[in-house]
Structure 1
Amino acid sequence: MADHDHKHHHHEGTELRVAAKKRMQAEGEQWTAMRESVFEALATFDQPASAYDIAEKVGQARGKRVAANSVYRILDLFVNANLAARVESANAYVANAHPDCLHDCIFLICDDCGKATHLDDDYLSGGVRDAAKGAGFVPKRPVIEVRGTCGDCAD
């Protein structure tokens, strides 16, 4: 990852859905009604959501059951297209509020409330990539997660 010295434009609501659609189409993928439903559901969660949580929310909105395995496939596509990030330790996902910027994600995960704060720090993740390369490994995606207590819960 290259260093990026810029401010992120964090999208919300309709603007986020439009940015996600544009990113998906830039990846050569279709923005189907089901993908839009999954993305909209994911974007409503305040903390990382599992495929089962998302499937339940989409199913309620559509008035019919949605299989979690279908949601997993869409979430994998979203991660690859930079629309979502996977919180590995929780087997859960968060919507990327700036899908037009590509960075490695660092998550600060609160063990008390479950909130995951997303940081972009290319310097830190670049060091992890460089260390992996130095060991003869070809890194695909560094996973950096810090578990602890958020500022709200620590007060």
Structure 2
Amino acid sequence: MSAHHHHHEHSGEGLVSAARAALESADEQWTEMRADVYGALSAHERPASAYDIAEAVSKLRDKRVAANSVYRILDLFVRTNLARRVESANAYVANPHPGCRHDCIFLICDGCGRAVHIDDDRLTGALVEAARKAGFADVRPVVELRGMCDHCS
């Protein structure tokens, strides 16, 4: 098993196209509302809450969009690997390589809130193996490390 994954990281319209393709390959529809939510999510430089996204989509649509509607769409995006949930911040980030399944390690800055995603199969593989030994199957580690980024420290 290699220590690191190699991905083509998408951005801008390429990211939206890759997300749409990944969602449709999961037999889900790419609706206007889902497109608006994904656009708002991918526009955030830092993890965004459902309320942040609902506010952005409300402004875009010029009508109020409920956060619970956004939560349902975000849950779909997490299930289909278009987004990841930063548990400790109750926030979401767009996956820069939608459709690629792997484990998550987030480095989260306590100063500015920036979240950096890294891949390291050695670390997450050890967690998966420990879970197997404890009788768990189909685990997908999400590891969050908090500290200060270079800019803030």
Task: Report the residue type matching 1:50 in the other structure.
Answer: S
Gaps of 5+ in 2: none
User: What are the within-5 Å matches in structure 2 for residues 71-150 of structure 1?
Assistant: 71-150=70-149
Cα 1:3–1:77 change in 2 (3 A) is farther
Given that 1:132 and 1:139 are in contact with CA atoms closer than 8 Å, whether structure 2 keeps it comes out as no
| Structure 1 residue aligned with 2:34 | 35
Structure 1 runs (4+) deviating above 4 angstroms are 2-6
Gaps of 5+ in 1: none
Aligned-pair identity (%): 60
- Cα deviations by residue, 1:12-47 (Å, 9 ceiling, x for unpaired): 111100000000001000000000000000001111
For 1:6 and 1:116, the matched residues in 2 are separated by 18
| Structure 1 residue aligned with 2:54 | 55
**Aligned residues, how many?**
153
| Structure 2 residue aligned with 1:66 | 65
For 2:86 and 2:120, the matched residues in 1 are separated by 16
C-alpha RMSD over aligned residues: 1.4
Given that 2:80 and 2:99 are in contact with CA atoms closer than 8 Å, whether structure 1 keeps it comes out as no
- Cα deviations by residue, 1:37-71 (Å, 9 ceiling, x for unpaired): 00000001111000000000000000000000000
CA drift at 1:136: 1.1
- Cα deviations by residue, 1:86-132 (Å, 9 ceiling, x for unpaired): 00000000000101321111000000000000111222111101101
For 1:29 and 1:20, the matched residues in 2 are separated by 11
